[in-house]
Amino acid sequence: MGAMGPWHIVIAVALSLVKFPVAWHQLSIVFLAPPTNFSCAAPISATNESTIMKCYVDVGNGTMEKCTSFKYDKRTFKESIITQWDLVCDREQLANFVQSCTMFGVLIGNLVFSIMADRIGRRKPLMIAIGLQSLTGFISAFVPWYGLFVLFKFISAVATGGTMLVSFVLLMEIVGVEWRSIMSVLFHIPFLLGHLMNPLISYLTRTWDGFQMAVSIPSIFLLSYYWIIPESPRWLLATGKLSRAEKILIKAADRNKIPIENVKKAIETYECSARIRQKQNEEKYNITHLFRTPNLRFKTICICINWFVCGSCFFGLAQYMGYIEGNSFVNVAISAAVELPGTVIVLFLISRVSRLRILISGNILSGLSLLLLTVISDSTFTVCLATLGLAGMAISFPTVYLYSSEAFPTVIRNVGIGLGSVCARTGSIIAPYIATMGKIKPWLPPVVFGIGPLLGALLCLLLPETMNCKLPETIEDGENYGK
């Protein structure tokens, strides 16, 4: 197929469109459940005391009763899930539960669709995930009950987890080795653009159901566009479907101006090497192999902590931007816009600078910026520092992904990256509760988010560099790597 040509570019662009709905669905909570001022509407207070942001009122003789009805400030948002289902007072954490369910759904989607993609191929699961994402996302805009909304939001998140995983795997399986690190970073840019579009979509709709419809409809058009996406030739070869693989490879070679006879030679060579590999790789590897030897176990723990930090800080800070004083649309737009230079920096440095130096720099930038928030009270500087924290995570996240793919030995590389992804999703499930801790103490979210990246940077000092090094192949190689 060649390393990169017109055939690859068309498919890469088509696959990248998946990342827009991924960002819209994963980062929508800041506009679905924005901070909302309320006042107690019933029962009526017997005193002249203000009922703004009060959950209990004095109904006479010092008797305090719980509010049963509320009035909301709807000047910025006409309707949100908070105003729709009264997610205030003792129901306040139900708004965070929506985001946690979303992230848990993404985690389940990663696991379910990864198994499906290995068994029936890459293309069909991708189509199923896109269709399910658009359908459930659209239905969730019309549900009358909170419980039903959470259910459809969860199913949509499962589909989102499938689209982001399968599209990335398919892209990595069609591009040449020398393009994989660059494409893995470029593939993240549509996600950032989707994040940047969130405040614009919310500003135009001003309602939670309008936002849900707006972000679900484009996925329907993606289904009609995806007829150009082929099955992964690598998966077809690995599962013995040589004739189907040959048709795709011939089409790719023709489009990329490569001699067709090269395809038959490549398939014959693959068949011979596959027989040899089948005899050599009889042992089945699983997640326990990551922890069986001391050096590999230590590296696995350090890498997983960095994944956890990236997941919790990135998604937590994305939500935290909506709670900072000022215009939430502007704050989120600024933070999303600054993520783009962070990704461009990674793209520029990834083949020139040590992986660990990039990861450490991103973590330190994020950690120090967030800790400075505890001593800065000016609203403008607060937005700037929080934005720098998110930019640091935009540098660290793609870097830890690439580092993991190089640090784990080949026989358990997918398992290692899968474990890291689970750690990142676990962090993102916890993140909403950290982001809203500012209601207890304003300094809590930046302190908790700030300590994590600094811990990750410290652990990076104990890890071996992987740039321009021969990748470990066996468990023994992984154990000896970096000693």
Total tally of structural domains belonging to the chain: 1
Nearest to 405 by CA among 235, 116, 181, 168: 181
Q: Is 442 helix (H, G, I), strand (E, B) or coil?
A: coil
Distance CA 109, CA 412 (A): 21
Q: Is 46 inside a domain boundary? A: no
Using the CB atoms, write b or e for 65-85: b if 16+ within 10 Å.
eebeebebeeebbebbbbbbb
Torsion 395-104-231-239 (CA) sign: positive
DSSP character for 474? S
Q: Where in the sequence is the domain holding 369, given as residue range(s)?
A: 285-482
pLDDT at 220: 78
Distance CA 329, CA 326 (A): 9
Stated as kind and residue range, the H or E segment containing 139 is helix 123-139
pLDDT at 132: 92
Residue 273 backbone phi and psi in degrees, to 5: -70, -30
Show the low-confidence residues of the chain (pLDDT under 70).
Answer: 1-2, 225, 272-284
pLDDT at 274: 60
Residue 156 token pair: 């949509």
Q: Is 86 inside a domain boundary? A: no
64 beta partners: 58
Q: Is 249 inside a domain boundary? A: no
Q: Is 343 inside a domain boundary? A: yes
pLDDT at 277: 54
pLDDT at 282: 54
Q: Is 292 inside a domain boundary? A: yes
Q: Is 315 inside a domain boundary? A: yes
Q: Is 31 inside a domain boundary? A: no
Q: Is 2 inside a domain boundary? A: no
Q: What is the pLDDT of residues 199-254, one digit of tens each?
A: 999 999 999 999 999 988 887 777 776 778 888 888 888 777 888 888 888 888 88
Q: What is the pLDDT of residues 262-284, one digit of tens each?
A: 777 777 777 766 655 555 455 66
Q: What is the CATH number of the domain that holds 444?
A: 1.20.1250.20
Count Cβ atoms within 10 A of the Cβ of residue 247 and give its class: 0-12 exposed, 13-18 middle, 19 or more buried.
middle
Distance CA 287, CA 419 (A): 8
Distance CA 242, CA 211 (A): 45
DSSP character for 40? E
Do strands 69-72 and 64-66 pair parallel, antiparallel, or not at all (unpaired)?
A: unpaired
CA 108 to chain centre: 13
